Structure formats: structure tokens, C-alpha cells
Homo-oligomer: A and B are copies of this chain.
Amino acid sequence: MEKDSETSQGGEAKRTGYHHGDLRAQLLAAVRELVEERGSENFSIAEAARKAGVSSAAPYRHFADKDEILKAVVLEAMNDMTTSMKAAVIPHPVGSIERVNALGKHYIDFARSHPGMFRLVFGLSESHEDDEELAGKGAATFRIVINAVADYLGIPQDHPDAKKRAYILWTVVHGHSWLTIDGKAKQQGIEFPLSDLLSTASEMVLLDRRPTDDANH
């Protein structure tokens, strides 16, 4: 059954016969494109089906409902993000602050280059909070940050201080991502370069060696 449409390099390969052969994957690709084009609230499954060249009922042979499709797309996006961040860390020496900064940069770069997906992953109200698979992906990614922070500080990776400082850096990077894609940062005349923001923030959070509350007890 491997004919000619299973690579889906563009998300646009049409089918040949009655059966599609690669609908699930192409549907997800179509949804990703539409989410970027129109935003996660303004796209329809029907249009994604049209884009994949099938009827509007076909998607329901592969997914229970719209929400399940979105969840699958979110999972793909989180995988991309994790992959990108794992790669980001490699060129920088273990224990360096650049390692921490590279993680922040790739997080924000993802948000800026895929704002629609970022909103989908982090902005949905019924945000699949309780989904094990998504939670696991998130934990794996946060772990990378915690480890980079612990290595820089020269403390064990399971020290609560590492987690706390890593979380504060996460909030900075996450908050800046949102404020940037929402246009709020520019609206308020915030225009310093990303590298400056990142290094300033990481130095503030990591060079401050006064004990944190849960480190001293």
C-alpha cells in the first residue's frame, strides 16, 4: 500500500483511488497549516478535509471529534518543541549560562515562528490538562531546563532551588512569548533584543545567590 502519497512532504499530496492511504497524517498537516493561517479558533475540520481532498465526514474515521484532532496536533507540536530544545543545548558546554539561554531562545523562537501552534498548545481553555501523554512531554522538556540550571549553579539536579529558579525562568520566557505574539510588548514600546532580555533575566535569576525560601529549611 505504499504507492506515492505517504511521504506527505508538503501536507498536500492528493490521493489516487477511493482510499486515501495517508489521511490521518495529511489531516494533521492540513490542520497545522490552517491553525497558523487562521488561528486555532477560526479553522474548521471541514476545511482541513477539503484540503486533504476528502469529504467532510472522512476525518471522523480517524478521530472521535475535533478535540481529539487538536490534541493530536498539540502532541506533534510539543514533540517538535522538545526536539528543538534538546538540540539547542548541545553546542553549549554543560554548566554554562549559554546553555540556559539557548533553551529560552528556542522556546521564544518557537512561539514567534508558530504563534498559532503556541496558542493551541498553551491557550486552549479545555487544555487537556489531565492527559498523561501531554503532561509527560511537558515534564521532559521542563527537566531539560532544570538540569541546565542545576549544572550552572553546581547543585544536584534534584535540588529544589534548581526547580524554583528554572520555573521563574520559565515564567519569564513563557510570559515574553505571549506578550510578543499578542503584540503587547511592541505596544508598550518594548523592543530590546531577545538575547539581551534573556541574558539579563537569566543573570538576575541565577547570579542572585541569596537563599531561596525552600532552599533553607
| Complex Cα–Cα for A131 and B212 (A) | 41
Contacts of A39 in B (CB 8 A): 124-126
Contacts of A207 in B (CB 8 A): 208
Contact of B204 with A168 in the complex, beta carbons under 8 Å: yes
Contact of B203 with A208 in the complex, beta carbons under 8 Å: yes
Indicate whether A133 reaches chain B with its CB closer than 8 angstroms: no
Quickly give the copy total for this chain: 2
Contacting residue for A200 out of B42, B164, B189, CB 8 A: B164
Contact of A200 with B168 in the complex, beta carbons under 8 Å: yes
Indicate whether A183 reaches chain B with its CB closer than 8 angstroms: yes
Shortest distance from the beta carbon of A208 to any chain B beta carbon, whole Å: 5
Contacts of A9 in B (CB 8 A): none
Indicate whether A135 reaches chain B with its CB closer than 8 angstroms: yes
Contact surface of A with B, Cβ cutoff 8 Å: 38-42, 115-116, 119, 122-127, 129, 135, 138-139, 142, 163-164, 167-168, 170-176, 178-179, 182-185, 187-190, 192, 196-197, 200-201, 203-205, 207-208, 210, 212-214
Given A171-B174, A174-B178, 4 more contacts at CB 8 Å? A119-B125, A122-B182, A175-B175, A175-B176
